[in-house]
Amino acid sequence: MQVLFSRDTVVVNAAIIGASGYSGAELLRVLSSHPGVRVRMVTAASSAGQRVDALYPAFAGQCDLTYGELVPEGLDGIDVAFVALPSGEAMKIVPLLKEKVGRVVDLGGDFRLRSPGLYEEYYRHRHTAPELLAHAVYGLPEINRDSIAGAPLVANPGCYPTAAILAILPALKHGIINPGGIVINSLSGISGAGRSASVDMSFAEINENVRAYKIGTHQHIPEIETVLAGASDAPVSVSFVPHLIPITRGIYTTAHAGLAVALTVAELLTVYEEFYASHPFVRITRQVPQILAVTRTNFCDIGIAIESRTNQLIIMSVIDNLVKGAAGQAVQNMNLMFGLPETAGLK
């Protein structure tokens, strides 16, 4: 579906399923200022009947929507549905959404992996809609822009994989690094853990603390490996360790990989700049990237260093986990799906 884009004309009617969580609220924030979109429906089972600005006072005077429950008749006239639910929930409702809505963007992990067995191994529950896996397009615009444009179902990437894949892919695709034994360490703000209350995510446990978790078992490991392998046509193995740090939002990723060819930093920067020249949300920096430079934006900043003593390429990337790592990237995908400018609502 191609639509005409005008700042004075609403062209896309959107629904946010699971709008009370951090990613859903961020989606509402971004879409509320999108010149070509009208959010007509927000659902949240636990907050049904409550106004959005009662749960999130920042929306006062900007949004008069009320959370409701997901009912099929409520989807009439909806052009795109964003699903911002925990993994394991989207697969239960996406079959229904696909019958009622032309385009669906899932921000969870249910449709990122083609293999139901791999999904069940890492997500620890059975996939109930495996027939849709082969039809979902992985929603990383920097590698799948054309496929996203025609996709009825887009699987929005995870926040950690977004930062890691964008950092590593150019070097891998050009044969600059060895595809085996890539080491990835990522530091994330606690909003990535979701809005549900738990002792482990409480202020007293997180403040003035750093903690690694899901070492070697994180559900994003197969996502990183399979996407990198598919884009580079070579088997890829990574060692990935995520960490929680006491900030609200942002991801800082550092990837280490053995150099396969001898290049200078200046030459590597040229490779990266040329690789991402047509992609508006990836910025290659000659400085050490920092989270503050991308907070509340859809940008991914990437920096490069060489450790000559060990012949290692060190790649650093930073994103806002709620924007480029979730809601912003979902809107970027929606723009491509509806023929809107890729940056609409995001700059």
- For the segment 160-186, what is each residue's pLDDT rounded down to a tens digit? 999 999 999 999 999 999 999 999 999
What is the rounded distance in angstroms from the CA atom of residue 179 to the CA atom of residue 134?
A: 25
Please enumerate in sequence order all residues whose Cβ is within 8 A of that of 58, keeping only pairs 6 or more positions apart, or say none. 29
pLDDT at 9: 58
pLDDT at 3 over 70: no
Tell me the two tokens of residue 302: 């990437």
Tell me the two tokens of residue 336: 């491509």
Angle at 196 between CA 193 and CA 199, to 5 degrees: 85
Same domain, 138 and 196: no
pLDDT at 234: 84
Same domain, 69 and 146: yes
pLDDT at 162: 98
Higher pLDDT, 6 or 190: 190
342, part of any domain? no
65, part of any domain? yes
Mean pLDDT of 73-93: 95
Same domain, 215 and 116: no
Same domain, 166 and 311: yes
Higher pLDDT, 45 or 173: 173
Mean pLDDT of 123-149: 96
What is the rounded distance in angstroms from the CA atom of residue 123 to the CA atom of residue 271?
A: 36
pLDDT at 118 over 90: yes
Same domain, 135 and 244: no
What is the CB neighbour count within 10 angstroms for residue 122? 18
Q: What's the predicted TM-score (pTM) here?
A: 0.94
Tell me the two tokens of residue 77: 């006239």
**Secondary structure of residue 318 in the 3-state scheme:** strand
Mean pLDDT of 5-9: 53
- For the segment 327-341, what is each residue's pLDDT rounded down to a tens digit? 999 999 999 999 999
What is the rounded distance in angstroms from the CA atom of residue 24 to the CA atom of residue 251?
A: 18
Domains in the chain: how many in total? 2
Radius of gyration of the chain (CA): 20
186, part of any domain? yes
Tell the residue number behind the tokens 């969580």, with chain if given.
Answer: 21
- For the segment 46-79, what is each residue's pLDDT rounded down to a tens digit? 899 999 999 999 999 999 999 999 999 899 999 9
Domain that holds residue 58: 12-157+325-337
Same domain, 149 and 171: no
pLDDT at 337: 97
Mean pLDDT of 105-124: 96
Mean pLDDT of 110-133: 96
pLDDT at 5: 52
Checking phi first, is residue 214 left (phi over 0); if not, alpha (psi -120 to 50) or beta? left
- Our answer to whether residue 159 is catalytic in this structure is yes
344, part of any domain? no
pLDDT at 6: 53
Mean pLDDT of 179-204: 85
Strand order in the sheet with 211-212: 211-212, 238-244, 182-188, 251-258, 312-319, 300-307, 282-284
What is the rounded distance in angstroms from the CA atom of residue 76 to the CA atom of residue 326?
A: 26
1, part of any domain? no
Same domain, 214 and 268: yes
- For the segment 257-290, what is each residue's pLDDT rounded down to a tens digit? 999 999 999 999 999 999 999 999 999 999 999 9
Same domain, 145 and 286: no
pLDDT at 8: 54
Please enumerate in sequence order all residues whose Cβ is within 8 A of that of 270, keeping only pairs 6 or more positions apart, or say none. none
- For the segment 227-257, what is each residue's pLDDT rounded down to a tens digit? 999 988 889 999 999 999 999 999 999 999 9
What is the rounded distance in angstroms from the CA atom of residue 202 to the CA atom of residue 140?
A: 32
Strands (E), the chain: 12-17, 37-43, 80-83, 103-106, 137-138, 153-155, 182-188, 211-212, 238-244, 251-258, 282-284, 300-307, 312-319
Same domain, 245 and 143: no
Same domain, 126 and 176: no
Higher pLDDT, 116 or 234: 116
Length of the chain: 347
The proportion of the chain whose per-residue pLDDT surpasses 90, expressed as a percent, equals: 89
- For the segment 284-321, what is each residue's pLDDT rounded down to a tens digit? 999 999 999 999 999 999 999 999 999 999 999 999 99
Same domain, 121 and 171: no
What is the rounded distance in angstroms from the CA atom of residue 253 to the CA atom of residue 182?
A: 13
Is residue 242 within 8 Å of 218, Cβ to Cβ? Answer: yes
The pair phi, psi for residue 144, each rounded to 5°, is -130, 30
The angle that helices 221-232 and 116-123 make with each other, rounded to 10 degrees, is 150
pLDDT at 114 over 60: yes
Catalytic residue among 159, 165, 263, 340: 159
239, part of any domain? yes
CA 317 to the chain's CA centroid: 14
Please enumerate in sequence order all residues whose Cβ is within 8 A of that of 211, keeping only pairs 6 or more positions apart, or say none. 243, 244
Tell me the CATH number at 294.
Answer: 3.30.360.10
Same domain, 86 and 188: no
pLDDT at 220 over 60: yes
